[in-house]
Chains A and B, each alone.
Chain A
């Protein structure tokens, strides 16, 4: 476990002077273009959705008031709210909370897409090589073009992620037996190979520290101006919602998709691009956060089924809530020190996942 002083807002750390941040972000309220009017699953879905949004809003407010800096609800009530506290709020707390929400939502959606594309419930970007390939991409671009803009670096990393994911899909298409556990296993092996390659290259080029930051999810360095790329993730999640029917059908397999007139290869390609971009975005800005993409879609599909149109919004909100909650816990357990969100999620996620497995959830079906 990593613990470090809160870099962004330790009382002594000078806050960068930047213009005021935007207002607190609310996740886009998804439009339910839903199936049968008045069907029970639909009503359930909407109840879950509003409940999720409410929980997320509460977590967001809590997140705003947890930290080392002198900023609590008490200061708010006592009226000692001055320009300095305002700046802390705008430059650090709001961006940090927003980053957690955006990263969580997009990672959870990426996990869901990955599961649909490979028709297997036990995969997510960080267990099939996507995330590792993105980190490798960052290492490579940092060696060859260290001064490139962050956007350019991210896009380069995304292209690596795309290749890594493509390799995974090609591998599993070739598997004779698509046994449910073989698919995630192949993913883990591929991820391991790519990860060691990244470490080797980073080691040779003295970039181990940077690679550490990319592969360990952590929000403590998030400040205004350093997380905005993550908004693209939300836009990508919205695209996933827009194409949700097609992704759901892709999850049912190539044959059903083709029979219903869907350009299967094209929808898989779209999914790959979305997943790779989201992986690269989060690696670049906050580092790898494991398990969100695995646990959240599994819990949601167990409760609500696989109909993408219905579950994409719920998956996004639950992902955001889970990551935000883990970040808050990470800030609280060893106050005033922090435990990175990656580590907390590693514990929480693996526990949740073990529970899922022990309930005997089949990988397919």
Chain B
């Protein structure tokens, strides 16, 4: 359960996130969309206690993120940031193993090894399992970081632009994976997406941000309309149903 109440972030006078409130109580995939600089990453970072909060509160399973022990929260919420890894000459397998840290504290049990193999398989990483991250392609590395988040096995999962660097096949696979995580494992997945069509196809709910505020929050059919998308992105678009799939195209 993720609850944000009037979350606010200030940089100087700029209200980068402005009284954003949301509640995610049941399993599902929620997409956050919005133009560059809308405050999406900042909002996720505050919820995941990576950034100090300037106003409002964020609760995970009812625990205030600013007051709860870090290792307790690490079993409840995980986040994939937009950019990752400074010194990352680790093998994919080692990295994913570190995802088990909140549970094993470094002493991997057979269960941990199982979870690691599972994450490697899910993200199509078995051929690269023992390769160093700095010797992988951008997309392979991105998948390794997502696998690490998956291995952490928390109920709440925040993913900031996980489709970065992924080809179409792997992007679709990633979105299907999120769907499965929500449907089969009961995860609460929040994902920042720039491609509205991925949000249409795989999300249950879409939250649109603009200038630090949450401007729209609702089911896909409700949010993805020409008026709303044009208002949020300031760009004329066409929204059509193509073979039953809600589709959003920019007007050239």
Q: A259-B78, A364-B86 are known contacts. Are A35 and B70 too (CB-CB below 8 A)?
A: no
B71, B86, B130: the one within 8 Å of A119 (CB): B86
Interface flag for A79 (CB, 8 Å): no
Q: Which residue of A lies closest to B135 (CB)?
A: A305
Contact between A364 and B74 (Cβ–Cβ < 8 Å)?
A: no
Interface flag for B195 (CB, 8 Å): no
On chain A, the number of residues with a Cβ less than 8 Å from chain B's Cβ atoms is: 35
Contact between B97 and A259 (Cβ–Cβ < 8 Å)?
A: no
B75 to chain A, nearest CB (A): 7
- Chain B residues near A360 (CB, 8 Å)? none
- Chain B residues near A263 (CB, 8 Å)? 70
- Chain A residues near B81 (CB, 8 Å)? 255
Contact between B91 and A256 (Cβ–Cβ < 8 Å)?
A: no
Q: Which residue of B lies closest to A243 (CB)?
A: B106
Contact between B94 and A307 (Cβ–Cβ < 8 Å)?
A: yes
A280 to chain B, nearest CB (A): 26
Among A146-154, A204-212, A244-252, the one that faces the other chain is: A244-252
Query: Interface centre among A36, A254, A258, A261, by most B CB within 10 Å?
Result: A261
- Chain B residues near A305 (CB, 8 Å)? 89-91, 94, 132
A164 to chain B, nearest CB (A): 22
B5 to chain A, nearest CB (A): 22
Alpha-carbon gap, A33 to B78, bound state (A): 26
- Chain B residues near A253 (CB, 8 Å)? 84-86
Interface flag for B152 (CB, 8 Å): yes
Interface flag for B205 (CB, 8 Å): no
B72, B98, B134: the one within 8 Å of A248 (CB): B98
A33, A36, A40, A41: the one within 8 Å of B113 (CB): A36
Contact between A35 and B108 (Cβ–Cβ < 8 Å)?
A: yes
Contact between A261 and B75 (Cβ–Cβ < 8 Å)?
A: yes
B78, B101, B107, B132: the one within 8 Å of A249 (CB): B101
B50, B87, B94, B97: the one within 8 Å of A115 (CB): B87
Interface flag for A39 (CB, 8 Å): yes
- Chain A residues near B132 (CB, 8 Å)? 305
Contact between B85 and A252 (Cβ–Cβ < 8 Å)?
A: yes
Interface flag for B185 (CB, 8 Å): no
Contact between A261 and B70 (Cβ–Cβ < 8 Å)?
A: yes
Q: A39-B130, A256-B84 are known contacts. Are A261 and B90 too (CB-CB below 8 A)?
A: no
Alpha-carbon gap, A161 to B217, bound state (A): 53
- Chain B residues near A256 (CB, 8 Å)? 84-85, 98
Q: Which residue of B lies closest to A34 (CB)?
A: B108
Contact between A35 and B93 (Cβ–Cβ < 8 Å)?
A: yes
Contact between B98 and A260 (Cβ–Cβ < 8 Å)?
A: yes
Interface flag for A66 (CB, 8 Å): no
Q: Which of A228-270 contact B (CB under 8 A)?
A: 245, 248-249, 251-256, 258-263
Interface flag for A365 (CB, 8 Å): yes
Alpha-carbon gap, A251 to B113, bound state (A): 23
Contact between B98 and A249 (Cβ–Cβ < 8 Å)?
A: yes
- Chain B residues near A362 (CB, 8 Å)? 134
Interface flag for A93 (CB, 8 Å): no
Contact between B93 and A36 (Cβ–Cβ < 8 Å)?
A: yes
- Chain A residues near B187 (CB, 8 Å)? none
- Chain A residues near B79 (CB, 8 Å)? 255, 259
Q: Which of B172-196 contact A (CB under 8 A)?
A: none
Contact between B86 and A306 (Cβ–Cβ < 8 Å)?
A: no
Q: Which residue of B lies closest to A250 (CB)?
A: B87
A245, A254, A258, A365: the one within 8 Å of B87 (CB): A365
Interface flag for B73 (CB, 8 Å): yes
Interface flag for B235 (CB, 8 Å): no
Q: Which residue of B lies closest to A33 (CB)?
A: B107
Interface flag for B49 (CB, 8 Å): yes
Contact between B85 and A365 (Cβ–Cβ < 8 Å)?
A: yes
Given contacts A245-B98, A365-B134, 4 further A-B contacts (CB under 8 A): A252-B86, A306-B90, A309-B106, A365-B87
**B interface residue numbers (CB < 8 A to A):** 45, 48-50, 69-75, 78-79, 81, 84-91, 93-94, 97-99, 101-102, 106-108, 113, 116, 130, 132, 134, 152
Which 8 A-B pairs have CB atoms at the shortest separation, nearest pair first?
A261-B74, A261-B71, A119-B86, A245-B106, A251-B87, A306-B89, A305-B89, A260-B101
- Between A and B, 7 residue pairs with Cβ closer than 8 Å are A39-B130, A116-B87, A120-B86, A256-B84, A258-B50, A261-B74, A306-B90
